[in-house]
Amino acid sequence: MKNPAFVLPDGMKGIQYLLKATNSGGVPRTTLELIGLRASQINGCSACALGHVQEAKKAGETDERLAVVAAWRHAPYFTPAERAALELTEVVTRLADRSDEGVPDAVWAAAAEHYDERQLSAILLMIGTLNLFNRINVTIRERADQPSWQQP
C-alpha cells in the first residue's frame, strides 16, 4: 500500500505542521535528529532511521555519534542534555513496556534540568510524531532504499 500520509494529503500536512512546530521549540536540530533516529531504531523503521541520519549529517552531525546512537549510554560523544533527551525518547517510545505510571520522575527531572517548557514540548512533539510515522512506515513496510517521500 502507498503511504497513508500521501494517500490522504491532509495527513501529511498535519505531520508537517507538527514538525514545523517542533522545529520552532528551541531545541538544536541535531538533538531533534538524534531523537528521531533513536525512536526509529527502537521501532524498527529503517526508512525513518536513514532519513534522520541524512538530516542529522546535513545539520553537521558526525559519523561517530550517529554510529553509536543505539548505544548512547556507553558512548562518550553525547552531552548531558542530549543524554536526557535520548533517555526521554526511549521511555516515551516504550510506554507500553511499562506497567507503572509512564515516564519515571527521574527521567522527567533529568530532561527538565536541561530544557525549558517550550523545548520539552518540542521534544515530546518530536517523539510523538516520529512514533506515529514509524508505526505507519513499519506497517506498510516502507523501504529505506525507496522511501515514498523521495518518489515522484
Question: What are the residue boundaries of the structural domains of the chain, listed by start?
Answer: 25-142
For residue 101, the model assigns a pLDDT of 77
Give the tens place of pLDDT for each residue, 55-109: 999 999 999 999 999 999 999 999 999 999 999 999 999 988 877 778 999 999 9
CB contact at 8 A, 86 and 38 = yes
Give the tens place of pLDDT for each residue, 112-148: 999 999 999 999 999 999 999 999 888 888 777 765 6
Average pLDDT value over all residues in the chain: 91
For residue 152, the model assigns a pLDDT of 45
Please check whether the domain covering 25-142 is classified as CATH 1.20.1290.10: yes
